[in-house]
A and B are shown apart, each in its own frame.
Chain A
Amino acid sequence: SQQGEEDPQALSIQEGENATMNCSYKTSINNLQWYRQNSGRGLVHLILIRSNEREKHSGRLRVTLDTSKKSSSLLITASRAADTASYFCAMTGGGSNYKLTFGKGTLLTVNP
């Protein structure tokens, strides 16, 4: 199974601190994406990194990808209470960019 493992499962920090979430996967990928989900709502796409890329930035987000270790990390800098949500990595692979398989997710709580 391609399902990703995310670590930690839950993370609680203070506003202004940085949050780092990690994702590991098992087989080769085409791309890896990160999504955010506020409680009981739909998912919002944050960032996509292709298998031939090593790092991408978007605002306060920084994503890295290490295909040799089959792992990715999402860094949120200067966190805010509004960043409180579940964060999922998701990947495509096996020659298809249509099927996304999600990791188990990290629940981030940012305390004001």
Chain B
Amino acid sequence: DTEVTQTPKHLVMGMTNKKSLKCEQHMGHRAMYWYKQKAKKPPELMFVYSYEKLSINESVPSRFSPECPNSSLLNLHLHALQPEDSALYLCASRPPGQGSREQFFGPGTRLTVL
């Protein structure tokens, strides 16, 4: 299995809803990432997990709550989002090791906040 999967593909939620995005990989990668991408913009890093521990939080608002239950799974819990949070949310993973490595991206979840 050489891919990163994300569910759901599309999500529409109201500002008072609570929802979760899910990301999974079975490549033995020990670093996993959440990115946010607005239309016609590059991906912006949100969080990095390394060996199931949060290692980078790019000053993301607390209405986004990441969780890494095990080495294969990464969740992003959403609560009280704003319409400006509508975007494509991308998950990625990276093979272990300190050297130069590519990242493997999932297809993304298209989130719309009403």
Contact = CB atoms under 8 A, between A and B. Distances in A.
A49 to B, nearest CB: 9
A98 B31 contact: yes
Interface stretch (A13-21, A62-70, A100-108): A100-108
A28 to B, nearest CB: 14
B45 A43 contact: no
Interface residues of A, number: 25
A60 interface: no
A82 B99 CA distance: 32
B108 interface: yes
A88 B90 contact: no
Size band of the interface chain B makes with A: 20 to 34
A84 interface: no
Interface centre among A43, A97, A102 (most CB of B within 10 A): A43
A30 interface: yes
Given A98-B94, A101-B45, A92 B106 contact: no
Interface string B97-108: 011111111111
B88 interface: yes
B12 interface: no
Nearest to B39: A40
B69 interface: no
Interface of B: 4, 31, 40-45, 48, 50, 55-56, 88, 90, 92, 94, 98-108, 110
Closest CB pairs A-B (n = 7): A102-B42, A31-B100, A42-B105, A45-B102, A43-B105, A42-B107, A42-B108
Given A31-B100, A97-B99, 13 more contacts: A33-B103, A40-B88, A41-B108, A42-B105, A43-B43, A44-B105, A45-B103, A45-B105, A50-B100, A92-B100, A99-B45, A102-B43, A105-B41
